Amino acid sequence: MLLVALLVLVAPGCQALDRGGAGPEDVPPPVKTPVVQHEKPSGRRPGVVNIDTEQGLNSTRAAGTGIVMDPSGLVLTNNHVIQGATTIKGTDTDNRRSYTAQIVGYDRQSDVAVIRLFGAARLKAAVFGDPSSVGVGDPVTAVGNAGGKGGTPTVVTGKVTSLDQTVTARDDSDGTSERLTGMIETSAPIRPGDSGGPLLNTRGRVIGINTAASASFTVGRSKPKGTHRGYAIPSDRALAIARQIARGQASATVHIGPTAMLGVKVRSGDTQGAQVAEVVPGTPADEAGVPVGATIISLGGATVDSPTTLTGLMLAHHPGETVRLEWFTAQGTRSAAALRLADGPPQ
């Protein structure tokens, strides 16, 4: 398998949104498993949604793309498109209407998320194909919100250059990285903002979810520096996770519903644990007196040995739950407090 480092396709710095987030009264009814089309063709540009987000805690904005799974407004996208979002807007490119969106659930490890567009009905759902039938050299088309400009989706073409690839994707907006496996590699020149958009075969069916790209890496003689490569999650794998999310089935990697928040930004320290680099004012951690420089060592009775472990433990909780947090101060004093978790952005 090929292993490369590349950039995920988030496009920060898009135009401001004039939209608030959904309040408690806007919580949708239980989600039914979407009826995903597989056989009836719907053209070469199926159910594409332009996604715009605001990340209130970081005062940044980002954009990406989504794929309509169901006429009722369920949309499949990448987790990194909605990661950190405090408000989300989705614009269906078929009917040109914009909707406030709420996260149904997400899988950080697989970079898959599902959002719901409030008030949407009778949307044109995408047509999904079988990625196992894809071969090297097959022509493909990528559709998305390139550059986060909105409006009519951009369309670029290329060929499948390799299959079953493993990539380490880095997000320049926050420095995080993730390892993705089983990816479809193509020469289609996808750009920031295309994340979460469809990769189509010649019949206009979705065979992949565009996720990452690189235009400046060297791997062997056949791929010289400067060769563009795009990477897509096979659609069958993405759909399997999306259906699990739609059924409300949480797991070790799948989080369902709103995300719980402590209110700290953490980093690796000199000792095991998660060192607090910043405390967000007015959050549970701030109210409990967790200081900057402290090292979190336990959450809900489970040991925290790294920032990654803390993130994983937090994903098992939901807003409103009370958990016990333990930490060492920079001076070595051990402290603990019971915190009521707040509602925060997806991780």
Catalytic (active site) residue 111 = yes
CB 143 within 8 A of CB 197: yes
Enter the tokens of residue 254.
Answer: 């799948």
Catalytic residue among 110, 195, 235, 298: 195
Name the E strands within 59-97. 60-70, 74-77, 87-92
Catalytic residue among 107, 111, 171, 194: 111
Catalytic (active site) residue 317 = no
Enter the tokens of residue 84.
Answer: 């950190």
**Hey, is 288 helix, strand or coil?**
coil
Please give the Cα distance from 172 to 292 (Å, whole number).
25
Catalytic (active site) residue 132 = no
* φ, ψ at 12 (rounded to 5°): -75, 165
Q: Which residues pair with 117 in a beta bridge?
A: 101
Distance in Å from the first CA to the final CA of the chain: 28
Catalytic residue among 52, 72, 80, 173: 80
Q: Which residues pair with 103 in a beta bridge?
A: 115
Please give the Cα distance from 267 to 313 (Å, whole number).
15
Which residue numbers are catalytic? 80, 111, 195
